[in-house]
Chains A and B, each alone.
Chain A
Amino acid sequence: MKKCFLTMILTLMLAVTGSPARAAFPEQPINLIVPFSAGGSTDLDARAFATIAGKYIGQPMMVANRPGGSGIIGSQYVVSSKPDGYTILIGRPGAQGVATACFPETTPFTLDSYTFLGMVDASPCVLMVHPDAPYKTLQEFIAYIKANQGKLKYSSSGVSSIHNFATQYMLNLSGMKHDALIHVPYKGGGEALTAIMGKQVDMMICAYNEASSYIKSGTLKALVVMTKDPFPFAPEIPTAVQAGMPELQLGTWFALLGPKDMPQEVRDIYWNTIQKVVVDPDYLRMIGEIGCVPTLMDAETAKEYVIAQNAIFREVGQAIGIVK
């Protein structure tokens, strides 16, 4: 009896201390932080990624939602975590884009607070209108706005959302002032899209993956997809070039980020995993259905891309006067 007890204690001690000093990463489950609530577009993408990535990295990857403050709270959580690779973040153009570029004084982090691990997916912006609207092309719509300055309305998911900034970018490019359209903010992308359906507002610019189900079913109409080349999931929507406004190229992205100063070997493991995930047939099927395109970029390229996009946001923010 005593012996049995002793062995139990010993095994327990072994279990606690038994792991070798430097085991290969990862030796425990990984937390993928989604700074938005469950069920949103970021959450869906993250869950698809986590399911497949777990297969390749050798440990389960768990999605943890830490919503609030337009993604700031979850993003800050990752910045203040240990850079051991067990806490990583889905970076999005709201928190890591608009917030860092335009509101540095209220954003507790910068792009340098993160280790970039790579770009995973992207989804281009689309301009959505009601299918009954009199305008059928982007040019007709721009002309309509010009003829009715200050009368038409657009919805967004808040002042600092990419929806708002993308719309202002379009106004800026077509030589109009920021108040040519009235901004009606909602609490989320879904509510903002519903407002077009109920004809409370006239248009909204959002990511294709937010609106794909409405585009496919014809409840809403996309006038332009903000890419250079035809968009593979919806080749019938005119591109920015075809619509006659070639500079109008904007998209949303899903990047994998970790806290600053992550060890090089952990970064390499993540980069290998990302490369395998974005060609996995199950993964392609899942994200294809929700309207995202696998967009592989290594850490440096991803960071450069984000910096370039942020420069646009800053310019727009200055033009509409919310950035000093």
Chain B
Amino acid sequence: MWDHLSEGALLFFSFVNFIALTGGTFFGLLMGAIPGLTATLAVALALPFTFYLQPVTAVMLLVGIYKGGVYAGSIPAILIRTPGTPSAACTVLDGYPLAQQGKAGQALFMALYASCIADCIANLALIFFTSYIAALALKFGPPEFFTLICFSLTIIAGVSGNSLSKGLISAGLGLLFTTVGMDLVYGSNRFVFGQVELMAGISFIPVLIGLFALPELFNALTAKTSTAATTTIGSTLPFAEVKRCFRTILRGTFIGVILGAIPGIGGTPATFMSYSEAQRASKHPETFGKGELEGVAAAESANNAVCSAALIPLLSLGIPGDVVTGVILGAFMFHGLTPGPLLFQQNLSFVYAMYIGIVVSSLVLFLAGKLSIKCFSQVTKIPAKLLFPAVLVICIYGSFAVNSQLFDVWITVGMGIVGYMMNRFDVPAPPFLIAFVLGSLFEDNFRRSLVISSGDYSIFLSTPICWFFMALTLLSLALIVRRNIRAVKKSHATCSSLEYRG
């Protein structure tokens, strides 16, 4: 082992690898910070260049881009309420309110610290527990998936704000939107209205931009007083705040590592689950969604933990955990490396070189992120009359860039109007988003399970994992019901005491 380790160290410690890693991280930061240009696209763009690089250098370049891109999604999420990448959607919930309160600096630094701490821990999980986590991930078949998604949907109650019923209306709308497109089991078209573009369903990023960024711009248009984009970046983050959020970051990392290692879930559900768990564990859950640093920490720790965790099934089984690792798999194969058990037998020194590189990449991410915060925080100094038009252009461009089709721009505009109306009637947007992310996973795995069991519903209680998530679902439903009954009683009590006094 020590032979391979020293060989791996020799392989990694070269100038070119550092250049690739740092260059990749900066490129990823830039791409991730522009809404619509995702980490996936950045990695795919860089793929052809890796043909002519050494395998270690190639992987370092791609890992740098991936991590930089996922982190940088939080920057526009906090500053302009437009997530740069899908998995930064959850960061908006508390990041943007913080920026409005003039604490953009604190939010940005919290995002960076949470991302880097989570990244370090997830790296260790990748290095030491790969085979265990991968074995667990393989146990997730359709029924296990379905019960996990059921549990995730209970998050809706946490992000519904004051009114659970309004939250459920919002979530129902989100679920309805996921049914558009070709259905999985029969291949029939639903709500397509003869539009070829709708056959693939409604894309996530146009919806995301429409739902969050556009209503904010409409509000700015209609506001009588000029909302001068809260021109202060605010103070930097006191260390005590990081310490306070440390438990949240750890929890987020754990959730990110487990969900990231299960192929096909991706970063976005992990961030929402981490967020809702942070809220549940918090002593003052009512501050979430109104500018709570813990909310930013929860979301950002989860999405960066997913980065390293998505490499777990890739390295140990050869299964890419998400789309980005799918592209990285391609890079491996172009170099004649076959991820999976064989890699550990034949190319152990390469594996060690990669491990060292991944550990170093956390440090690079930290330094690059710190530098980028300095640059991007200049955004807050731009006057609103210049900033908002620019943001509108970026939003429209971003929604076009995902699939390069104009149709998506109309989706964004349409969703912007829906989002604005929801805002006016005080219907919260986050439940819509969660339902939209999870809806197709929910439906597909439900139907797939029933195909497998030939229509027997007992399949949803067939394994210990199913039992576990079913129990969690019931427990959190019970908690929601209890909390609401209490809230109702409390309001009754205050009402009647007022009457008494009156």
Contacts and interface: CB of A to CB of B under 8 A. Distances in A.
Interface of A: 37-40, 43-44, 47-48, 50-51, 64-70, 72-73, 76-77, 106, 108, 153, 158-160, 182-187, 190-191, 193-195, 197-198, 200-201, 212-214, 216-219, 282, 286, 289-290, 322
15 contacts: A38-B44, A39-B43, A39-B326, A44-B330, A68-B197, A73-B405, A106-B189, A158-B184, A187-B184, A197-B317, A200-B142, A213-B339, A214-B340, A219-B317, A289-B336
A202 to B, nearest CB: 11
A289 B340 contact: no
A47 B333 CA distance: 13
A69 B48 contact: no
Nearest to A290: B333
The 8 nearest A-B residue pairs measured at CB? A68-B200, A217-B340, A159-B187, A38-B44, A69-B199, A39-B326, A39-B327, A200-B141
Nearest to B141: A200
Nearest to B189: A106
Given A48-B51, A65-B44, A190-B263, 7 more contacts: A69-B196, A108-B196, A153-B452, A193-B319, A212-B333, A213-B333, A290-B330
B18 interface: no
A158 B189 CA distance: 13
Given A182-B454, A190-B263, A213 B338 contact: yes
A38 B327 contact: yes
A197 B319 contact: yes
Contact of B403 (A51, A66, A194, A200): A66
Contacts of B302: none
Given A38-B327, A51-B48, A216-B338, A185 B184 contact: yes
Nearest to A107: B196
A38 B40 contact: yes
Interface string B321-346: 00110110110111110111111000
B389 interface: no
Contacts of A69: 181-182, 196-197, 199-200
Nearest to B331: A44
A286 B189 contact: no
Contacts of A43: 44, 330
Contact of B340 (A44, A68, A213): A213
B338 A182 contact: no
A39 B184 contact: no
B187 A158 contact: yes
A213 B328 CA distance: 13
B51 A289 contact: no
B47 interface: yes
B199 A219 contact: no
Interface of B: 40-41, 43-44, 47-48, 51, 138-142, 181-182, 184-187, 189, 196-197, 199-201, 203, 263-264, 317-320, 323-324, 326-327, 329-330, 332-336, 338-343, 403-405, 444, 448, 451-452, 454
Nearest to B313: A194
Contacts of A282: 51
B185 A67 contact: no
Given A185-B448, A216-B342, A39 B330 contact: yes
Contacts of B403: 65-68, 73
B199 A217 contact: no
Given A187-B184, A200-B141, A219-B341, A73 B336 contact: no
Of A40, A106, A160, A183, chain B has the most CB atoms within 10 Å of the CB of A106
A201 B452 CA distance: 8
A198 B185 contact: no
Contacts of B197: 68-69, 73
Nearest to A157: B184
A67 B326 CA distance: 15
A160 B200 CA distance: 14
Contacts of B186: 159
A64 to B, nearest CB: 6
A40 B326 contact: yes
Contacts of A183: 451
A5 to B, nearest CB: 29
Contacts of B51: 48, 51, 282, 286
Nearest to B185: A185
Contacts of B264: 187, 191, 194
A183 B444 CA distance: 14
Given A190-B320, A194-B263, A76 B330 contact: no
Contacts of B342: 216-218
Given A66-B404, A182-B454, A219-B341, A214 B318 contact: yes
Contacts of A65: 44, 403-404
A70 B200 CA distance: 8
Contact of B343 (A51, A197, A217): A217
B465 to A, nearest CB: 12
A198 B138 contact: yes
Contact of A217 (B43, B48, B336, B341): B341
A198 B140 contact: yes
Contacts of A106: 189
A40 B40 CA distance: 12
Nearest to B440: A187
A67 B38 CA distance: 15
Nearest to B325: A39
Nearest to A74: B403
Contacts of B203: 68
A37 to B, nearest CB: 7
B319 to A, nearest CB: 5
Contacts of A160: 187
Contacts of B43: 38-39
B200 A73 contact: yes
B449 to A, nearest CB: 9
A197 B140 CA distance: 11
Contacts of B201: 68
Contact of B334 (A67, A200, A212, A290): A290
Contacts of B138: 194, 197-198
Contact of B448 (A64, A186, A198, A216): A186
A324 to B, nearest CB: 14
B232 to A, nearest CB: 39
B185 A218 contact: no
A140 B350 CA distance: 40
Nearest to A76: B196
Contacts of B405: 66, 73, 77
A205 B399 CA distance: 36
A99 to B, nearest CB: 11
A43 B40 CA distance: 13
A187 B444 contact: yes
Contact of A286 (B140, B181, B334): B334
A125 B433 CA distance: 39
Nearest to A322: B187
Nearest to B188: A159
Nearest to B52: A282
A214 to B, nearest CB: 6
B203 to A, nearest CB: 8
